[in-house]
Amino acid sequence: MLDGISNGIAKALNCLFPHPSLSPRDDGDAMADFEHNPLADMMQGLMNGNIWDMPMVQQVIFPSRQASAEFPGATSGPKRDGAIDVAPGVAVGFRAYVPREGCDRVALHFHGNAEVCGEADDIAPVFHAAGFALVSVDYRGYGWSTGSPGVTHLCGDADAVLDFLVKGGVPGIAAGCRVVAWGRSIGALSAVHLAASRAASVHGLVVDSGLMSIASLPMVKQLAATMGAGEMLGGLKDPTAAPFGATTLRKARTVGCPSLVLHGDRDDIVPASQGLGCFNALGAPDKVHERFAAAGHNDVLATELARWSAAVSALLAKAAAFENSHPARAAVETHALSAEKFNGKKGVVVAPAKVDAGAPPRARVQFEDAAMGEKAIKLANLAVVDRAPYLA
């Protein structure tokens, strides 16, 4: 999340406090005056739990920028612009940086809230050098996307984008391609969501100056405190919890693919503590936390490009070789267990299980049989019935 959020807060506060509707109406209808007051709307949103969908809050979170597609509909060349339908009448724009035709490795990029998808030109060569295409995707209302941005749309739109990508929708990129989800700042919410809930299709995760909780951001707390709603902020529902009822940090626990967390220690927009929280929560057996002591939120590439590029390149190499035989949410069945009565039990993989070094790999499985509950089972004793039942 970039400097745009500061401008958004300023606009929101300017909208709230000098607003003419804060003065009594001439007709004496004080209640009507209160009902149309932006501050009253904010408080009502807090009480109803739908604050994240309020236009004023969206303005703070998404200071959207428009841009025109430079390569619309291109099916050849290194840069290709297009759009992906994510809802009826709504499409999000993308720019694909394609190193070769039929590329079967892709980094799917969800950018920060003050960026647009066409601004990844300078960094695309890092991915090309590792044999990956780069597809950078806008949010609703950004670039040439239609619709209005909203935090409650992030995960559903990310699902639609991934479906489009792996089905061969992007010109020059092969169907069934290997995907690394890369989320910068607010984009980390989308990237972690895909790595957790779409584990059969995602082979790597990069969390780049990523936020894990919007409600915990210093600027959001500042805005809530200014409005006298600081105490209510902690009780708000996580806007990205749907459809599986899990916050981003809870989703991170189920991630099994190679993962890289990058964060500047001097980040005062998304504190480094959120990056550390993400790293600690990640269930991936292979995870790396790269910290940049002198960098803030927006200057990691300017100050640490070589280290950033080396860390990302190493992650891409791991993702290119990663095979996830038992991805999270896969339907499985037990077999070859020494206790015969436990064979043939059906369940769903929840997450990788932590094991000691050198021990056989296991997965945590939630069984249909309530008596079995959730158990850590050796992969050798789990037959995969369906790798991606959520796509059925």
Provide the number of structural domains found in the chain.
3
Examine the fold and report which residue of 265, 296, 321 is the final residue of a domain before the chain moves on: 321
Mean pLDDT of 103-118: 97
Assess whether pLDDT exceeds 90 at residue 265: yes
**pLDDT on residue 172:** 96
Assess whether pLDDT exceeds 80 at residue 244: no
Question: Is 29 within a domain?
Answer: yes
Mean pLDDT of 323-336: 95
CA distances from 383 to 67, 283, 312 (A): 48, 21, 33
**pLDDT on residue 224:** 67
What is the pLDDT confidence band of residue 19, given thresholds at 50, 70 and 90? Answer: very low
- Domain shared by 287 and 386, yes or no: no
Q: Which of 22-26, 203-207, 328-332 has the lowest mean pLDDT?
A: 22-26
Tokens of 1: 């999340």
- Domain shared by 276 and 184, yes or no: yes
Question: Is 18 within a domain?
Answer: yes
- Domain shared by 198 and 340, yes or no: no
**pLDDT on residue 8:** 45
**pLDDT on residue 58:** 74
Proportion of the chain above pLDDT 90, given as a percent: 71
- Domain shared by 253 and 309, yes or no: yes
- Domain shared by 288 and 205, yes or no: yes
Question: Is 67 within a domain?
Answer: no
**pLDDT on residue 222:** 75
- Domain shared by 130 and 248, yes or no: yes
Examine the fold and report which residue of 288, 321, 354 is the final residue of a domain before the chain moves on: 321
**pLDDT on residue 2:** 47
Question: Is 286 within a domain?
Answer: yes
- Domain shared by 335 and 309, yes or no: no
Least Cα distance to 192 among 253, 244, 150 occurs for 253
- Domain shared by 223 and 355, yes or no: no
Least Cα distance to 105 among 138, 137, 129 occurs for 129
- Domain shared by 49 and 155, yes or no: no
Examine the fold and report which residue of 297, 321, 345 is the final residue of a domain before the chain moves on: 321
How is 66-132 classified by DSSP, letter by letter? B---SSBT--SSSEEEEEEEEETTEEEEEEEE-SSTTEEEEEEEE--TT--GGG-TTTHHHHHHTT-
> Residue 39's domain spans which residues?
4-61
Question: Is 178 within a domain?
Answer: yes
Tokens of 333: 């069945």
**pLDDT on residue 3:** 46
Question: Is 256 within a domain?
Answer: yes
Proportion of the chain above pLDDT 70, given as a percent: 79
- Domain shared by 297 and 360, yes or no: no
Average pLDDT in the chain: 85
- Domain shared by 367 and 251, yes or no: no
Here the CATH number for the domain that contains residue 242 is 3.40.50.1820
